Amino acid sequence: MDRRTFLKLAGIGSLSFAAGCSDPEKTIYSLVKAPDDMVTGQAKWYATTCRECPAGCGVLVKNREGRVIKIEGNPLHPINKGKVCIRGQAALQGVYNPGRLKSPILKTENGLQNISFSDAENLLSEKFSIAKISGSGRIKMMTEVVSRPLYQIFDHIMTTYGADAPTVFEPFAYESLKTANEMVFGIDGLFSYKMEQSDFLISFGADFLDTWLSPVEYTIKFKEMHGVRNGKKGRFVHISPSQTLTAANADTWIPCNIDDETIVALGLIREMIVWGKGETLDKSLLGNLQSIADPYTIQKVSEQTGISERLISGISESLVKSRHPLVLGSGNSFNGERSLETCIASNLLNLLLNPDLSQLDFNERYRVETAARRSEIYNFFNEVSEDKTNLLLLNNVNPVFTLPKQSGVQKALKNKSVFVVCFSNFMDETSAKADMVIPVAMPLESWDVYESTSKVITTLQPAMKPLYGDPQIGDLLIRSSFKDVTETEFYKTEVIRSLVKKGSISTELQWLNMVRNGGLYNVPENKASFSKKLSKKIFDVLLLDRKETTIPLSLAIMPSVRFFDGRGANRPWLSEIPDPLTKVVWQAPVLMHPETVKRNNLKHGDMTAIETDNGLVEAIVYETAGIKENVLGISMRRDHTIDGQFIEDKEDSIFSLLSANIENLSGGPISHARVISIKKAKSSEPLAHTDGSRLQHDRKIAMAMPFSQYSNSQDHKKTHGGSGLSMHEFPLTLPIPEGYDAHRDIYPSHEHENYRWAMVVDLDRCVGCAACMGACYAENNIGIAGKRQIINGREMSWVRVERYLDPEDNKKVIFLPMMCQHCDAAPCESVCPVYAPHHSKEGLNNQIYNRCIGTRFCSQNCPYKVRRFNWFGWKWPYPLNLQLNPDVTARSKGVMEKCSFCIQRIKEAHTTAKREKRKIKDGEVIPACAQTCPSDVFTFGNLMDPESRVSKLVSDKRAYQVMGYLNTKPAVIYLKKILNEI
């Protein structure tokens, strides 16, 4: 454990409620009775759990003066190991969302009416009583994935009232994967993959870096297998219709039509059998498999899918050669008619390749497996529509948005005889239709436990007092309907009791330790039994001949790394930070292959109207080679205003384009629809994107080298430029005296005092997920410019992930995080008339905001274009302003700003070091971007210390500086990406 982590953990010992958070007072009073653990100016850290998606990552939440201001990963947590994704960073903007409801809302004849929490509670009790009197089964409940104790309470209530168990709704319920797991392994659930152990990975659309199962966990695992390890590097092939973030990170991405993954998978099964794999398997099983896969010769697969034979045989060869291959089934993006087959075939491939299945961890199961199948969800609403139900409880779900129109949800909610109660903090598509909306404390304000996986029980504790005094849903339900059943009054007690009952803890000290560490990470395994006896059904499914009607053009509704299923759209950071692949903000364009664009007489940037069997959507055309010709892709979007307010006049959600059809065997939804017509729309809007050119025009910006060159060449100098001084060959010139050379530099080097801060950015590790950007926005109070201003070119991000395409093959992507390079000979500094940017003794390029007069010369002269000007005074509408980091100035209009290497963290380390009379240790200062990065792209440290990690990394033969030919001597040293194609 490093020092910083230790300090944080030492700070989270307190179990008392975080200090209250209220409107800032005009008059300053001293706190007569300050909370026990509050020291003004000192942050408190609370270990809790991120609930922005069902993955359940452990987080440390920073609380300053009673307000949570920053989320960081909990290093002790086995799922995310101290890292958080962009959505986790943005959880704060859920808490401080201006659209967050301040009080319960009751729909009356006179419209919506604010009522008090106690009135809402009484009304809810009343409704429960009525339901009870009316007879059994009058209540129905639908909830998001919740913790086991909370689910138990829901369940108890439902049982008490003679109703069915609550239905767990998640838009991504992995029906086909679950069904395939059941059929092949006898496990109706979702288990984890030991991806880090594999050396060759094939994914048939499983977007494990975007949204699949547990993205942070798999980003970490993926980079463990895909990064250079003992001179070796794993390979990754991704086969899917669209280039998602995961696909963009594959060594080879193979575009295929929707549902053609099955054909490829079957072809690979055939190849593996031909190569003699699976000999340990049951003979009859192998025989059956052989007969099914036999028609899928490489030629046939190639013919049917359009994938070259060379590529397929290359993959199969690599599969055979690799020692620990792993195959992942389909993901959330393209749930089609044959997703189940793809998943079955993937499972079978794993079985063939690794008969001991060492990379599948059946004992570690994901909590999201409790989610009901889509077919059950549709049934649920159909039942509501039948007259029996009086009271419908919806806990933090938004089915009106995420379900197609024909799903019956609208009809169910319109039913006059049903009283619909939404436990939701926002007015969204569903709560707008509810009879009563009760906002409840958000996860960062609540007590709970959550089983991220079956091996982890992670705790939630309030990191601050609920902003508007909202009750916790557990407490609320206990009070309003559960009083007679249990003597407990608080949900927290119920949580502890359930843990004790389960045997997880037995003493209070254990509970305290559990909260302190953020959870229990050594939950005893209950060995899952799985049989290798394959169910006969597999072969029936694989023999089904159900896809022969080719759809000429289909529209797929895809999840995104930023919005997940659309739920993140009201977090301004997530809209403001560009999509990793398209670099589009605030909009969800329709991805279209250049051929398709041409065929439909459209242009990149045109507003187009796309009609499917079920609806019509208008979206801007985004021309990209990252999608198959006859597929259109559009991300699960929601329209929100800049301050997170819900736009009510958008009647139809993006999901209304889909049909309510399901795949019968797995009960999963179909996430694409046939396009009837596509034409230019009357309206128009410019594309809000933050990138200029998609190519780097051979400027030595994001560089890469083939793996063969990396592993063979022993000569350092040769690979990173050598002694040349041209655009094509240039030396690494470190921003320390050794980097200076009288032949090249007019001016002598300058000395630094003890430290020369520098950062190493490993492009081979960067997956482009933009978590760094989210962390930077949160840490450094970066303004939100909004759609219009970004169209005008005024994004404010201090670090941006540049995305460049290979000019030879537009399907190949390289990501490069770009931030202030803190050059030793910084072009920005000398041009400023007032010394606003200048060099610090420790080598930082400091920007003095209150000195800046706004000539913008520094930005003009910055070759890296990383400086950001405050064109306006950016607004943080209440309560977003409560999130601002008090250690960082909120810049006013008319001044320039940029990455400071998180100077506030450096200063903090200085203070600590000075107090302890020592120098700052390596790794003691971690900038926000480096802290959160799931793939450890960034290493920060002191270049003057020869023992520091950065000093060691810069001697890597991949080290180079972006546009090193300019001789600005940047302190950000990049390591080239390593290419390792099939």
Partner 1 sequence: MPDKQYVIGLYKEEDNAVAAIKSLKGSPFDLFEVHSPVPAEKINAELKKSKSKVGYFTLCGGIIGFITGFLLAIFTATRWSLIVSGKPVVGFVPFFIVGFEFTILFGVLGNILGFLVMSRMPARLAGKPYDERCSGEYFGVVATCDYGREEKLSALFTKNGADDIKVEKNKN
Partner 2 sequence: MAELTAAQIDNTVLDTLAAPSKTYWGIVGLLGVGVMIGLMCWGYQIVVGIGVGGQNNPVAWGTYLINFVFWVGIAHSGTLISAILYLFRAGWRNPIARAAETMTVFAVCTAGLFPLIHVGRVWVVYYMLPYPNQRTLWPNFQSPLVFDVVAISTYLTVSAMFWYTGMLPDLAIIRDRATGNRKKIFSILCLGWSGRLEQWRHYTRIYLFFAALATPLVISVHSVVSWDFALGVIPGWHSTVFAPYFVAGAIHSGLAMVVTLMIPLRKLFKYEKIITMGVLENVAKTIVFTGLIVGYAYGVEYFLAWYSGNSVEQESFMWRAVGEYKIEFWIMVICNSIVPLLFFIKKIRTSIPWLLIICIMVNIGMWYERFVIIAGSVAHDFIPHAWGYYAPTLTEFGIMLGAFCLFFFLFILFVKHMPSISMTEMKEHLHAGGNDAG
Chain contacts with partner 1 (rule: CB under 8 A): 747-750, 823-832, 835, 837-839, 969
Distance CA 258, CA 241 (A): 6
Residue 696 touches which of partner 1, partner 2, none (Cβ within 5-8 Å per kind): partner 2
Ramachandran bin of 224, using left for φ above 0, alpha for ψ from -120 to 50, beta for the remaining angles: alpha
Residue 826 touches which of partner 2, partner 1, none (Cβ within 5-8 Å per kind): partner 1
Q: Smallest distance, Å, CB 654 to partner 2?
A: 28
Pick between residue 238 and residue 867 the one whose CB is nearest to partner 2.
Answer: 867
Pick between residue 882 and residue 895 the one whose CB is nearest to partner 2.
Answer: 895
Residue 853 touches which of partner 2, partner 1, none (Cβ within 5-8 Å per kind): partner 2
Pick between residue 41 and residue 833 the one whose CB is nearest to partner 1.
Answer: 833
Rg for the chain (alpha carbons), in Å? Answer: 28
The span of 290-298, 503-511, 748-756, 860-868 binding partner 2 (CB under 8 A) equals 860-868
The span of 134-142, 448-456, 888-896, 911-919 binding partner 2 (CB under 8 A) equals 888-896
Pick between residue 498 and residue 855 the one whose CB is nearest to partner 2.
Answer: 855
Distance CA 447, CA 493 (A): 10
The span of 92-100, 689-697, 738-746, 769-777 binding partner 2 (CB under 8 A) equals 689-697
Largest CA distance in the chain: 93
Q: Where are the beta strands (DSSP E) in 853-937?
A: 868-869, 896-897
Q: Smallest distance, Å, CB 908 to partner 2?
A: 26
Pick between residue 559 and residue 786 the one whose CB is nearest to partner 2.
Answer: 786
Pick between residue 201 and residue 770 the one whose CB is nearest to partner 2.
Answer: 770
Using CB under 8 A as the binding criterion, the count of chain residues that bind partner 2 stands at 56
Subset of 772-811 contacting partner 2 (CB under 8 A): 789, 792-795, 800, 802-804
Residue 966 touches which of partner 1, partner 2, none (Cβ within 5-8 Å per kind): partner 2
Residue 750 touches which of partner 1, partner 2, none (Cβ within 5-8 Å per kind): partner 1
> DSSP letter string over 219-256?
HHHHHHHHSEETTEE-EEEEEESB--HHHHTSSEEEE-
Is residue 833 at the binding interface for partner 2, with CB under 8 A as the rule?
Answer: yes
Is residue 733 at the binding interface for partner 2, with CB under 8 A as the rule?
Answer: no
CA 874 to each of CA 133, 184, 427, 836: distance values in angstroms, whole numbers, following the listed order = 55, 55, 25, 21
Residue 863 touches which of partner 2, partner 1, none (Cβ within 5-8 Å per kind): partner 2
CB of 399 within 8 A of CB of 407?
A: yes
Q: Smallest distance, Å, CB 108 to partner 2?
A: 41
Q: Smallest distance, Å, CB 50 to partner 1?
A: 43
Pick between residue 2 and residue 806 the one whose CB is nearest to partner 2.
Answer: 806
Contacts for 354-359: CB closer than 8 Å, 24+ residues apart: 354/324, 354/325, 354/326, 355/278, 355/280, 355/281, 357/185, 358/194, 358/197, 358/324, 359/193, 359/194, 359/195, 359/197, 359/198, 359/324, 359/326
Residue 794 touches which of partner 2, partner 1, none (Cβ within 5-8 Å per kind): partner 2
| Contacting residue, 115, 523, 725, 831, with partner 2 by CB under 8 A | 831
CB of 135 within 8 A of CB of 474?
A: no
Distance CA 6, CA 176 (A): 43
Q: Smallest distance, Å, CB 322 to partner 1?
A: 49
CB of 602 within 8 A of CB of 617?
A: no
| Contacting residue, 852, 882, 933, 978, with partner 2 by CB under 8 A | 852
Is residue 834 at the binding interface for partner 2, with CB under 8 A as the rule?
Answer: yes
Q: What phi, psi does 389 have (nearest 5°)?
A: -75, 135
Residue 697 touches which of partner 2, partner 1, none (Cβ within 5-8 Å per kind): partner 2
Is residue 15 at the binding interface for partner 2, with CB under 8 A as the rule?
Answer: no
CA 76 to each of CA 91, 113, 248, 936: distance values in angstroms, whole numbers, following the listed order = 20, 45, 30, 16
Subset of 151-180 contacting partner 2 (CB under 8 A): none
Q: Smallest distance, Å, CB 668 to partner 2?
A: 38
| Contacting residue, 698, 808, 916, 947, with partner 2 by CB under 8 A | 698
Residue with tokens 């290359």: 314
| Contacting residue, 156, 194, 699, 921, with partner 2 by CB under 8 A | 699
Is residue 977 at the binding interface for partner 2, with CB under 8 A as the rule?
Answer: no
Q: Enumerate residues 6+ apart whose C-beta is below 8 A from 167.
A: 140, 141, 142, 143, 372, 376, 377, 380
Q: Enumerate residues 6+ apart whose C-beta is below 8 A from 109.
A: none
| Contacting residue, 830, 841, 914, 955, with partner 2 by CB under 8 A | 830
Ramachandran bin of 700, using left for φ above 0, alpha for ψ from -120 to 50, beta for the remaining angles: left
Pick between residue 101 and residue 895 the one whose CB is nearest to partner 2.
Answer: 895
Distance CA 491, CA 502 (A): 16
Q: Enumerate residues 6+ apart whose C-beta is below 8 A from 501.
A: none
Q: Smallest distance, Å, CB 943 to partner 1?
A: 15
Q: Smallest distance, Å, CB 842 to partner 1?
A: 12
> DSSP letter string over 475-499?
HHHHHHH-TTT-S---HHHHHHHHH
Pick between residue 241 and residue 578 the one whose CB is nearest to partner 2.
Answer: 578
Pick between residue 702 and residue 943 the one whose CB is nearest to partner 2.
Answer: 702
Is residue 860 at the binding interface for partner 2, with CB under 8 A as the rule?
Answer: yes
Q: Enumerate residues 6+ apart whose C-beta is below 8 A from 742.
A: none
Q: Alpha helices, DSSP H only, in 808-953?
A: 827-831, 857-861, 903-915, 928-932, 949-953
CB of 388 within 8 A of CB of 131?
A: no
| Contacting residue, 108, 309, 835, 914, with partner 2 by CB under 8 A | 835
Nearest by Cα to 801 from 580, 512, 971: 580
Q: Smallest distance, Å, CB 784 to partner 2?
A: 14
Q: Smallest distance, Å, CB 824 to partner 1?
A: 5
CB of 532 within 8 A of CB of 360?
A: no
Is residue 818 at the binding interface for partner 2, with CB under 8 A as the rule?
Answer: yes
CA 445 to each of CA 43, 332, 462, 467: distance values in angstroms, whole numbers, following the listed order = 17, 30, 4, 8
Q: Which residues pair with 436 in a beta bridge?
A: 106, 421
Pick between residue 615 and residue 739 the one whose CB is nearest to partner 1.
Answer: 739
Let me know how many helices (H) and strands (E) the chain has, helices first: 31, 41
Q: Smallest distance, Å, CB 838 to partner 1?
A: 4
444 by Cβ neighbours in 10 Å (0-12 / 13-18 / 19+) ranks as buried
Q: Smallest distance, Å, CB 836 to partner 2?
A: 9
Residues of the shown chain interacting with partner 2 in the complex, contacts defined by CB under 8 A: 691-699, 701, 726-727, 789, 792-795, 800, 802-804, 818, 827, 830-835, 851-857, 859-861, 863-865, 867-873, 893-896, 963, 966, 968
